[in-house]
């Protein structure tokens, strides 16, 4: 017996973290409507495999008849890589379905619960809605705003410097922080840096953690086409593509060299400052179903995302060092008045080995608040 079947469903859903994209993480629990005893449970493991509802119903078997199903996201009512979940729920003769949040996907939105109700099943929406929304924030950001969730990541000294005056930056933080940074890469669909980072550090931008995982898509912002074809990101063995986002100012000869090296060049419009339009970048990545973007770029790139209003979350790794004023700051630019500085809500502060980690949300981000449309029953 459990006091909160939906909480259990959310815990199950989180087991799919980093593996289900472009699908959302979903958990489901079948319980005895009278006693609350769990009869079956499941979660979505990865795209193309059975959905959570089907796994929970399979485990419960004939015991599902007349009982309750708790699911963290509205069951789908269309055929994709798998059959509609609504059909399986109806066939199992479930009496009531509890849904945490509606699916904003136009193929599903409202249609799943409508089909269930037409079959005589009682449907309730909204239990643990905020937690369910937060769990799948990248998916909801893509579905509602047609762009990835943007997470700015930086490793810095206690006084906010990412490098010394001579450019030395490897490695500010220690092993535990590095492991968490790679876990962030494992969960990301894409990782983005600017040309400056490629020239200064020559990173491979791959996932090198202990857990099973895949590399994110590597993305470089390079408005004029100066990324070296011999850069490691093109030659490090990986199944993930490497994209260089540039403008029409880049030469065709350079583009051919990047293609020969194994990269893909995508030409996008520039903004008034002559840099690649970040709005166009977001659209390009959204079209590729890259829902979670980890920005590991330097101060200029971080500043550009903040100025464009496209920064959603911040993760800062703090090394126990003081570099001083001559060092390179984590974010470029600056503000003359405190009232102009972007505000953040600190979500978590913790000590990690010798280092510290701060996770925060940008207050100006529109994607962090649960939209009422996801809990208003159709």
Annotated catalytic residues are 53
Yes or no: say if 246 and 229 are a contact pair by the CB < 8 Å rule: no
What radius of gyration do the chain's Cα atoms show? 23
Say how many C-beta atoms besides its own lie within 10 A of residue 334's C-beta.
9
Q: Cβ of 255: how many Cβ atoms within 10 Å? A: 18
Place of tokens 């009682």: 122
Task: Please tell me the distance from the alpha carbon of residue 184 to that of residue 155, in angstroms, as a whole number.
Answer: 13
User: What whole-number distance in Å separates Cα of residue 73 and Cα of residue 108?
Assistant: 10
Distance CA 293, CA 249 (A): 26
Nearest residue to 358 via CA among 350, 370, 367, 369: 350
Distance set, CA 78 to CA 125, 183, 206, 252 (Å) = 20, 33, 35, 44
- Structure tokens of 143? 């579905």
Enumerate residues 6+ apart whose C-beta is below 8 A from 309. Answer: 364
The SS3 assignment for 146 reads: coil
């Amino acid at each position: 017996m459990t006091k909160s079947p939906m909480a259990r469903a959310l815990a199950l859903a989180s087991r799919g973290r980093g593996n289900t994209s472009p699908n959302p993480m979903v958990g489901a629990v079948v319980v005895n409507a009278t006693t609350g005893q769990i009869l079956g449970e499941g979660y979505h493991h990865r795209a193309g495999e059975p959905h959570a509802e089907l796994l929970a119903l399979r485990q419960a078997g004939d015991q599902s008849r007349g009982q309750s199903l708790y699911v963290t996201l509205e069951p789908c009512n269309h055929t994709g890589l798998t059959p509609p979940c609504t059909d399986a729920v109806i066939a199992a003769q479930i009496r009531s379905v509890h849904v945490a949040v509606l699916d904003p996907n136009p193929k599903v939105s409202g249609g799943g619960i409508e089909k269930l109700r037409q079959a005589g099943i009682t449907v309730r929406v909204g239990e643990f809605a905020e937690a369910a929304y937060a769990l799948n924030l990248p998916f909801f950001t893509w579905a509602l705003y047609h762009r990835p969730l943007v997470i700015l990541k930086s490793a810095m000294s206690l006084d906010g410097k990412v490098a010394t005056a001579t450019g030395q930056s490897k490695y500010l933080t220690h092993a535990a922080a590095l492991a968490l940074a790679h876990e962030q890469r494992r969960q990301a669909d894409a990782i983005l840096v600017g040309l400056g980072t490629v020239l200064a550090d020559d990173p491979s931008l791959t996932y090198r953690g202990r857990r099973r995982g895949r590399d994110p898509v590597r993305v470089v912002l390079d408005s004029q086409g100066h990324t070296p074809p011999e850069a490691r990101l093109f030659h490090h063995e990986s199944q993930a593509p490497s994209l260089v986002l540039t403008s029409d100012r880049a030469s065709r000869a350079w583009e051919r060299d990047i293609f020969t090296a194994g990269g893909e060049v995508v030409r996008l419009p520039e903004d008034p400052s002559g840099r690649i339009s970040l709005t166009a970048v977001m659209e390009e990545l959204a079209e590729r179903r890259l829902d979670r973007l980890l920005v590991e770029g330097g101060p200029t790139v971080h500043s550009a995302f903040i100025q464009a209003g496209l920064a959603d979350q911040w993760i800062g790794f703090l090394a126990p060092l003081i570099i001083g004023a001559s060092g390179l700051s984590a974010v470029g630019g600056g503000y003359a008045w405190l009232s102009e500085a972007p505000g953040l809500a600190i979500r978590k502060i913790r000590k990690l080995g010798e280092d510290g980690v701060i996770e925060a949300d940008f207050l100006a981000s529109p994607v962090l608040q649960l939209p009422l449309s996801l809990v208003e029953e159709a």
